[in-house]
A and B are shown apart, each in its own frame.
Chain A
Amino acid sequence: MSGRLPGERNGHSLIEMALVLVLASIVIATVFGVLLAQWRFHLTRTEVASTHDAARVALEVLTSEFRSICPSLGDLYAIASDSVALRSTTGFGLVCGATGDRFGLRRISGAFGDGRGDSALVFSEGRIDSAADDSWSSVAISAVVAGGAGLCPDGRAPDVTLQVVGALQGVVAGAPVRGFRPYVYRLYRGGDGNWWLGQRLRGGRIQPLAGPFLSPERGGLSLEYRTGDLEPARTPRAVVQVIVSIRARSLNPTSWRAGPRFFVDSLSSIVYVRNS
């Protein structure tokens, strides 16, 4: 007699169990493979995007600096194929009035600071009937103060008043003033072993701006300076054109099939120095 006890169920045979295990393994492996591929794709996209961003930021910073410098005024302190030291414009204003060591400004652009390295170039009229002897005089800003330099010609108070080291001479209302800081831009090797574009105030510590990049030897940052005749510029004052080339590298590998490989993005721009 064959009967079934209450609660009794049919068991699985060994073959059934093996089949289930195989199928489950295939399904899990497939799902895992899809997830892994998607995860890698996600990482790759993130790395590629970050690399693009680093290259764009670095190029924008450097081209913006080069575009507005005036080499004949001494804005380029030193030039090299992988670094540059220059006056970086921080602000621009017009003199409202000057008294002793203070002058009030109508601010047009940016900001004026009184930190280390903050200085200003003040336009000085030479002979009033000629532009040939006009010049820009450099003064160190000792403090940004409130008032003390009179009103602007339009009767309004200056936007900002600067106290400078030494007395001001020959500064007239309406004279342009350019605030600047001396910066060095170069690639430097960070503690993580990667190369970063850094900005360093003269005598200060270097601050990372963007990266990572390939090493200078591999073209991480390449600066080519040219004269108006497109010849290599031998002195900073002769620079009219700068070719900025950048090779950014992803922080992490983006491909594993043939071993870890980094994504590299390169950008290049020719900058015509507007004030050459």
Chain B
Amino acid sequence: MSDLQGGADRGIAMISAVLALVLLGALVSGSLFVSARQARNGTADAQVASAFYAAEAGLAASFGWWDSQPAVELRPWRSVEIGSAALASGDSYHARLTQLDDGGAESGARYLLVSSGRAHGPGGGRRRVALLLRDPRPERWCCGAALTTAGVVQVADGGLLRGIDLEPIEWLDFPGLCQVPASNRPGVVTGEEGNNVFGEAEHAFRELAARSDVELDGGALLNDIAPVIDSDGACARGLPANWGEPRVVGHPCFDYLPVVHAAGDLTIASAGSGQGVLLVQGDLEITGDFDFYGLLIVLGNLRVARGRILGAALASGGVVRVGSGAELSYSSCAVRRALRTAKLVLPHPLAQFSWLEILE
């Protein structure tokens, strides 16, 4: 039998065990702390990334579904909220538009579109991105006459070149299509009278060509231009030979007014019709019984043997020939409609450095 008395022989086992437990606890706590910190960092990173993409979504949505009405009512240095939404992920965005200058009567104003994205959840991160935009005001380009040219104009017997402001006959039963009173213009403006116009037109040409819906190679020959409807009954946009349907109001392609850009000479031997903006980098020859409603800008010679152009034409080449079976008539309504298509009215980002992230 042992005879331990008075605790004189207390060992160190208990102290050692406690120390070991404390040390172990400290290490476990340290590891937990490190893991928790990493988890927090990861969560914060994910939230910041979510907020960024929400902000990008807001920018894309506000720009893609552009509503010009708030911009019309804005004044320089004033802002207006133009959109906000919660995304399926639970993240959200708010978009504000600020007008930067008044733009003046001849040019479009500039805007700053700022989208703030916020990640959902507690402590959700916030990021802001922005776009610098410019309102194009496309009507400024066009048009002082049915035909504006720097060269010689030859109109054959039976050919027609007139500046009386015509409303297309097919549109007469639809008063909403031409709301502006008719305003007659000269049939043709030539020489120095048109010099300023050509300066404008060349700029217009470049800007429009950069946003064309249909690109044609130089030397293209088109025999069959006609509206095309896809299997869903909608207009099949973007096809080289589908230039919309101007003659049938309510047709699926009636509201499709493409910007067509030919990179060189173009020959149209087709019957049928088309509308929109036709840009020809070289010579344009129309030999078919083709009707075109809208704006025509030709950097080379223009020869219309047959068919009808209703709207306006600018030709900066040396010769314009209007054949005996051809008509070139001014229509402010057709021109305005072609230039007020969503694609041209849509403000576009500045040519260089339009996107930025706004740092807090």
Contact = CB atoms under 8 A, between A and B. Distances in A.
A70 interface: yes
Contact of B355 (A38, A68, A94, A172): A68
Contact of B351 (A42, A108, A134): A134
B24 A34 contact: yes
Given A10-B2, A38-B24, A173-B101, A132 B353 contact: no
Interface in A36-54: 38-39, 41-42, 45-46, 48-49, 52-53
Contacts of B1: 10
Contacts of B38: 45, 48-49, 52-53
Contacts of B31: 38, 41-42, 45
A100 interface: no
A31 B20 contact: yes
A42 B359 contact: no
Interface in B121-151: 128, 130, 132, 134, 136, 140
Contacts of B76: 153, 173-174
B107 A129 contact: yes
Nearest to A134: B351
B350 interface: yes
A129 B140 contact: yes
A275 B355 contact: yes
B334 to A, nearest CB: 22
Contact of B352 (A34, A129, A172, A275): A275
Which range contains the number of A residues in contact with the other chain?
35 or more
Interface stretch (A120-128, A157-165, A208-216, A250-258): A120-128
Contacts of A225: none
Interface string B313-352: 0000000000000000000000000000000000010111
Contacts of A92: 356, 358
Contacts of A34: 20, 24
Nearest to A67: B357
A153 B77 CA distance: 7
A46 B41 contact: no
A89 B20 contact: no
A9 interface: yes
Given A9-B3, A127-B203, A172-B101, A72 B352 contact: yes
A176 B132 contact: yes
Contacts of A60: 45
B157 to A, nearest CB: 39
Contacts of B24: 34-35, 38
Contacts of B203: 127, 129-130, 132-133
A109 B351 contact: no
Given A42-B30, A132-B203, A109 B358 contact: yes
Which range contains the number of B residues in contact with the other chain?
35 or more
Chain B binding site: helix, strand, loop or mixed by DSSP? mixed
Contact of B350 (A53, A129, A131): A131
Interface in A205-251: none
Given A109-B359, A132-B207, A176 B352 contact: no
A212 B339 CA distance: 57
Contacts of B110: 174, 176
B34 A46 contact: yes
B268 to A, nearest CB: 28
Contacts of A172: 101
B7 interface: no
B54 interface: no
Contacts of B130: 108-109
Contacts of B20: 31, 34-35
A145 interface: no
B220 interface: no
A52 B43 CA distance: 13
Contacts of A136: 352-353
Interface in B3-42: 3-4, 16, 20, 23-24, 27-28, 30-31, 34-35, 37-38, 41-42
Contacts of A9: 2-4
A13 to B, nearest CB: 13
A174 to B, nearest CB: 4
Nearest to A38: B27
B27 A35 contact: yes
A192 interface: no
Contacts of A89: 356
A37 B78 CA distance: 64
Contact of A42 (B34, B77, B128): B34
Nearest to A156: B77
Interface of A: 9-10, 28, 31, 34-35, 38-39, 41-42, 45-46, 48-49, 52-53, 56, 60, 64, 67-68, 70, 72-73, 89, 91-92, 94, 106, 108-110, 121, 123, 127-136, 152-154, 172-176, 178, 274-275
Interface of B: 1-4, 16, 20, 23-24, 27-28, 30-31, 34-35, 37-38, 41-42, 45, 76-77, 100-101, 104, 106-107, 110, 112, 128, 130, 132, 134, 136, 140, 200, 203-204, 206-207, 348, 350-359
Shortest 4 CB-CB contacts between residues of A and residues of B? A174-B101, A174-B100, A274-B355, A130-B203
Given A131-B348, A132-B206, 4 more contacts: A64-B357, A129-B203, A153-B76, A176-B112
22 contacts: A34-B20, A34-B24, A39-B27, A45-B34, A45-B38, A49-B35, A52-B38, A53-B41, A68-B357, A108-B130, A109-B128, A109-B359, A121-B353, A129-B140, A130-B204, A130-B207, A131-B207, A131-B348, A136-B353, A153-B76, A176-B112, A178-B356
